[in-house]
Structure 1
Amino acid sequence: MMFNWLSLVTGFFYIVLGIVIITYKFFFIILEPAVAYPLGIVMILYGIFRIFRAISRFKNTRNEE
């Protein structure tokens, strides 16, 4: 159960990190826009994936009970 909550919170952090990368074009070093946009999009998509996976696990644990 704790993994589901951790996965949900991590998903939100990945989305925020993706938005920060796109906005400031910074990820430990200054990034070119050609690198910042794809990296930010990948971070956001991965965050969405983690959130959907956590939600589906929440639903599965409720169905098992």
Structure 2
Amino acid sequence: MFKWLSLIAGLFYIVLGIVVMIYRFFFTILDPIIAYALGGVFALYGVFRIYRAISQIKKSKDEE
């Protein structure tokens, strides 16, 4: 269950990163450079979580 929740959280972080880059807002108005940097960090973390969740799902299927 945790693996699938991690996959959903990764998708959420990617969407959050895109929203921060487009609207340049995260609890306050951001400068464009900071908005792109923060959005990029969110998106990269989302990709990392998805990669880790997929690798754990594949690993658990191989053990069965």
Unaligned 5+ segments in structure 2 are: none
Alignment TM-score, normalising by the size of structure 2: 0.98
Cα distance between partner residues in 2 of 1:39 and 1:53: 21
Q: Match for residue 43 of structure 1?
A: 42
Cα distance between partner residues in 2 of 1:3 and 1:48: 17
Unaligned 5+ segments in structure 1 are: none
* Cα deviation, residue 34, structure 1: 1.5
Alignment TM-score, normalising by the size of structure 1: 0.96
Segments ≥4 residues shifted beyond 6 Å: none
Q: How many residues align?
A: 64
- What is the root-mean-square deviation in Å for CA atoms of aligned residues? 0.4
Residue-by-residue CA offset, 1:2-52 (whole Å, 9 max, x unaligned): 110110000000000000000000001010111100000000000000000
Q: Match for residue 3 of structure 2?
A: 4
